[in-house]
Amino acid sequence: MLWIKKYRKSIEDILKKGHSPYESEEKEKEYTTESALKFVLDLKKLELKPSSISDYQTRLNDFLKYLEKRSIHRKSITLIDKKIINAYLNDVLRKTSPRNRNNTKSVLSALFTKLVKEDFIENNFIKDLDVLKSEPQKNTAFTQNEVKKIFKHLKEKDVWMYYFCAHVYYGLFRNIEVVRISISDINLPEKLIKSSTKTGLFYKQLPNILIDEVYSNIDLSKYPPNYSLFTKFDEPEMWYSGFKDTDGNKKVTDEGNRRSYWGKRFTKVARKPLGFSEEYTIYSLRHSAIGTYFLNKLNKYRSEKIPNFEEKALDAVRSVTLHKSNEVVKNYLREIGYYKIEDWSDVFK
C-alpha cells in the first residue's frame, strides 16, 4: 500500500508537469542510493571549498559503507528514511562524539537537499533531526617551560616537526596556514610570507627567530615555486595523493589531510612520548604564544606606568588575533588560562 501511494503521487505529479510516468521509472532504475548520492555530491563540489570537498567525500564514503553492510546501497534512494539515518547517526555518535555526529548530519542534510532539488526525493527529513549539545574541543595552552621542553625534544628527534611547530609558535600561524605555504609564498629578503586564511590573503612578517631557526637551514633556491614547504618527505615537494583527476593527472593531497598528517605526527613524536594528554595539540603552542605575548605587554605597560595598561595589552593582542573586541580577547585568554588573575600584581612577583 505504501508503494502504491508513492507511485500514485509520483505519477500524478509527473502528469501534471506534462511528462510520461515511464520517465520516472527509468530514473529510479538508473539511480540507486549510491549513484544518486554520488551524483549530487559532484554537483555540490562545484559550490564547496577544497577542504570542504574532502570532508563531504569522507563522510559520504563512510555512510555508503554503512549502507553496503546492510545491503541498502543498491536500492532506490526513496527507501532511505528517517529510521535508517537515525540509526547511522547513532552509530557515528557511539564511535566518535556528539560534535562529529552533528557534522555528519549537516553533510548528509546538504546532500539530501540537493536530492530534493534534483527531484530524486520529495523532502529532506534530515534537517529536522535534533542537533546534539556538544562541548567545543579545547586546546590547552602549554607553559613556557613545557614549550622549551617540547622544542628541545623535537630538535633532537624530528627537526621538521620542530620547523612546523616554530611557525605556529613564533609566527602565530594556524596549522592549516602552515600546510598551505609554498616556496613562492616566501620572501626572505623582505622577511615576508604570504598567508592564506579564510578571510583572504595576507602578508605576515617573518620574525628573525624563524629565519634563524628554520629558513637559514633550507636552501629555497633548489625548489620550484609551486612546491609545498611542509610535506611528509621532510623537504619541499609536490605531495601527491595517489589519486588522479578526470584528465588522468596526479592529484595533490588536499590540505585537510596534510594538516591531519602533521597533527598525528606531533602526537606520535612529541605529545605521547612527553606525557601530554589529548587536549594538548600543535595548536596549543599558538595559545601559549598569544598568552605569553599578552603577559609581556601587560608587564611592559605596567612598568612604564601607562594608564589603562590592561586595555593597552588587550589592544596589542587584538591586533594579532584580529578579534572583534577586547572583551572577546579577554574571553579567549580566560579559555586558555591566561586571564584569571584579578590582582595583576600577582603576575609580576
What are the tens digits of pLDDT across the range 190-232?
999 988 666 667 888 899 999 999 999 999 999 999 999 999 9
Domain 31-128: give its CATH superfamily: Tyrosine recombinase, N-terminal domain (1.10.150.130)
Taking 90 as the threshold, does the pLDDT of residue 183 lie above it?
yes
Helix (H, G, I), strand (E, B) or coil at 272: coil
Across the chain, mean pLDDT equals 86
**Stretch 16-23: mean pLDDT, rounded?**
58
Mean pLDDT of 316-322: 85
Q: Which residue has the higher pLDDT, 108 or 11?
A: 108
Q: Determine the average pLDDT of the residues in 293-306.
A: 90
Q: CB-based burial of residue 125 (10 Å sphere; 0-12 exposed, 13-18 middle, 19+ buried)?
A: middle
Give the mean model confidence (pLDDT) for residues 70-91: 92
pLDDT at position 197 is 67
170-180 tens-digit pLDDT: 999 999 999 99
Question: What strand order describes the sheet that includes 192-197?
Answer: 186-187, 192-197, 200-205
Q: What's the mean pLDDT in 109-135?
A: 90
Sequence ranges of the domains in the chain: 31-128, 144-271, 282-348
List the one residue out of 44, 129, 134 whose CA is nearest residue 89. 129
pLDDT greater than 90 at residue 145: yes
Extract the C-alpha cell encoding 44. Answer: 555540490
Model confidence pTM above 0.95: no
| Most trustworthy range by pLDDT among 72-76, 137-141, 187-191 | 187-191
Return the number of other C-beta atoms located less than 10 Å from residue 318's C-beta. Answer: 17
Output the pLDDT for position 284. 94
Side-chain-facing half-sphere of 37: CA atoms under 13 Å: 28
For 235-285, how does the pLDDT look when each residue is reduced to its tens digit (9 = 90+)?
A: 999 998 877 776 778 888 888 889 999 999 999 999 999 999 888 999 999
Q: Looking at residue 31, what is its pLDDT?
A: 77
Please name which of 124, 98, 134 lies closest in space to residue 37, comparing C-alpha atoms: 124
Give the three-state DSSP class for 169.
helix
Q: What is the pLDDT of residue 97?
A: 84
Kindly indicate the confidence band of residue 20, based on its pLDDT and cuts at 50, 70 and 90: low
Contact call for residues 89 and 104 (beta carbons, < 8 A): yes
Q: For 290-306, give the secondary structure using H, E and C.
A: HHHHHHHHHHHHHHCCC
pLDDT reported for residue 52: 81
Helix and strand numbers (H, E) in the chain are 14, 5
For residue 287, what pLDDT is reported?
93
The amino acid that residue 79 corresponds to is: L
Higher pLDDT pick, 60 / 25: 60
Distance separating the N- and C-terminal Cα atoms of the chain = 80
Does domain 144-271 correspond to CATH entry 1.10.443.10?
yes
| Higher pLDDT, residue 279 or 109 | 109
- 346 pLDDT band, cuts 50/70/90, is very low
Looking at residue 28, its pLDDT comes to 45
